[in-house]
């Protein structure tokens, strides 16, 4: 176990009124345990899911010859975990797992399954027993070829992220290199597909983040949520701008997106995540290890002066509200010697 900080966030009214002065002062620091979701043998790409029964699931990649997905369960608000199932495919590398619970209690798990430079798939599995077992039900998108044909340039698919639209349909956003041989040749874009039948089938590709004037840029690693005003925000990195600077775009319906790569979120770089708190505040994290807050549905962003993570994180942060006054901050942490661990820290939200 490592020791970590709990972050105390200023009350909402004080944050707005004293924004500049509060940045110049340290917040109250609390001590807590950092929970290892997977062993030091090597684990990455952790994501959590709160279940309707009050428990939590985590999914992450761990490695032997190829990446496999482990699913673990917590009954104490993400403090301790027990592995309950594993997903693997012979000869394929599985990463980027992410889960969603349906209204009937079933759980979907999307992942990226790859034979490098030959076969890329974004698959969906379903569990009817709270994560104990899984059945593949669909493929969101795929790129298939003979050995070596999908490299130079790469034509991969990565980082699926599912969520609900307000009408109950499921949207999934992902990074897409399949248009690299088009005209113009987009190195990578953010794409979206919609399912109207609980993840069993997926509609046509929707372009989310792209710019015909700068097709060499690589928007990717998208995460989205519905904001308090009913609109949808998607955050993503753009490789080729700064150090994979984080940008966002907003849509009225979560389906219609104008051309362009969106708006920059200051001081956030690489592999972002966005969370809407119960009071509709937006929180964004990234590989910088910092937290940014927006109280106005993304119109402005404010960096919290105390960060949950320092730069020993590798990537793939994520955020979850545990209780009304506590959030979980998850990241891939560099343990040295090329090994990584998925860890979580807890932050206190002061009322």
| 3-state secondary structure at position 58 | strand
Over range 34-40, report the average pLDDT: 51
Surface-to-core class of residue 185, CB atoms within 10 Å of its CB (0-12 exposed, 13-18 middle, 19+ buried): exposed
The answer, yes or no, to whether residue 36 has pLDDT greater than 90, is no
Would the pLDDT of 27 be above 80? no
**pLDDT of amino acid 86:** 93
Average pLDDT of 45-51?
Answer: 95
**Residue 315 or 135, more confident:** 135
pLDDT surpassing 90 at residue 5: no
Backbone φ, ψ for residue 305 (5° rounding) = -70, -25
Average confidence (pLDDT) over 307-315: 73
User: For position 179, what pLDDT does the model report?
Assistant: 97
Which tens digits make up the pLDDT trace of 66-96?
789 999 999 989 888 888 999 999 999 999 9
Query: How does pLDDT run across 162-214, given as a tens digit for each residue?
Result: 999 999 999 999 999 999 999 999 999 999 999 999 999 999 999 999 999 99
Q: Which residues contact 306 (CB under 8 A, 6 or more apart)?
A: 5, 7, 8, 26, 27, 29
pLDDT, average across residues 25-50: 56
- pTM for the predicted model, two decimal places: 0.90
Average pLDDT, the chain: 86
pLDDT at 34 over 70: no
Mean pLDDT of 278-305: 91
pLDDT given at position 20: 18
| Cα gap 125→342, rounded to integer Å | 22
pLDDT tier for residue 308 given thresholds of 50, 70 and 90: confident
In whole angstroms, give the CA distance from residue 249 to residue 251. 7
CATH of 41-274+290-299, one of 2.120.10.10, 3.40.50.1820, 3.40.720.10, 1.10.599.10: 2.120.10.10
Q: Please, which residues have CB within 8 angstroms of residue 109's CB and are 6 or more apart in sequence?
A: 59, 69, 71, 87, 97, 98, 99, 124, 125, 126, 127, 134
- Residue 56 CB neighbour total at 10 angstroms: 22
Q: Which of 43-52, 201-210, 312-321 has the highest mean pLDDT?
A: 201-210
Res 26: pLDDT: 21
* Top-ranked range on mean pLDDT: pick from 89-93, 260-264, 322-326: 260-264
Q: Report whether pLDDT(16) > 60.
A: no
SS3 23: helix
Tens-digit pLDDT profile for residues 209-251: 999 999 999 999 999 999 999 999 999 999 999 999 999 999 9
Predicted pLDDT of residue 28: 20
The C-alpha R_g of the chain, in whole angstroms, comes to 19
Q: Which of 68-77, 92-101, 113-122, 340-349 has the lowest mean pLDDT?
A: 340-349
Report the pLDDT averaged over residues 242-269.
97
Query: How many Cβ atoms are within 10 Å of 197's Cβ, its own excluded?
Result: 11
Contact status, residue 343 vs residue 308, Cβ threshold 8 Å: no
Per residue in 127-161, pLDDT tens?
999 999 999 999 999 999 887 778 888 899 999 99
Sequence spans of domains, the chain: 41-274+290-299
């Amino acid at each position: 176990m490592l020791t970590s900080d709990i972050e105390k966030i200023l009350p909402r009214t004080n944050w707005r009124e004293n924004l500049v002065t509060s940045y110049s002062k340290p917040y109250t620091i609390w001590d807590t345990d950092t929970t290892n979701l997977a062993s030091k043998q090597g684990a990455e790409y952790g994501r959590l899911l709160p279940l309707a029964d009050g428990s939590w699931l985590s999914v992450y990649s761990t490695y032997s010859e190829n990446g496999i997905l482990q699913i673990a369960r917590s009954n104490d608000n993400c403090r301790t975990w027990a592995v309950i199932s594993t997903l693997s495919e012979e000869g394929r590398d599985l990463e980027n797992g992410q889960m969603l619970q349906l209204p009937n209690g079933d759980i979907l798990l999307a992942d990226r399954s790859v034979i490098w430079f030959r076969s890329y798939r974004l698959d969906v599995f379903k569990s009817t027993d709270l994560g104990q077992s899984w059945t593949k039900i669909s493929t969101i998108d795929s790129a298939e070829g003979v050995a070596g044909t999908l490299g130079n340039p790469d034509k991969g698919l990565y980082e699926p992220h599912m969520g609900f639209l307000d009408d109950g349909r499921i949207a999934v956003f992902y990074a897409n290199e399949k248009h690299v041989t088009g005209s113009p040749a987009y190195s990578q874009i953010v794409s979206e597909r919609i399912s109207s039948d609980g993840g069993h089938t997926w509609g046509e590709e929707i372009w989310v983040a792209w710019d015909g004037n700068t097709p060499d840029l690589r928007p990717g690693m998208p995460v989205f949520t519905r904001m308090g005003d009913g609109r949808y925000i998607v955050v993503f990195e753009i490789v080729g701008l700064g150090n994979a600077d984080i940008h966002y775009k907003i849509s009225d319906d979560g389906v219609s997106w104008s051309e362009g790569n969106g708006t920059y979120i200051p001081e956030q770089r690489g592999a972002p995540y966005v969370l809407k708190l119960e009071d509709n505040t937006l929180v964004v994290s990234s590989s910088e290890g910092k937290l940014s807050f927006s109280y106005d549905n993304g119109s402005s962003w404010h960096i919290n002066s105390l960060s949950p993570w320092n730069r020993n994180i590798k990537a793939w942060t994520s955020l979850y509200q545990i209780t009304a006054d506590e959030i979980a901050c998850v990241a891939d942490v560099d343990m040295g010697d090329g090994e990584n661990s998925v860890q979580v820290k807890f932050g206190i939200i002061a009322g």
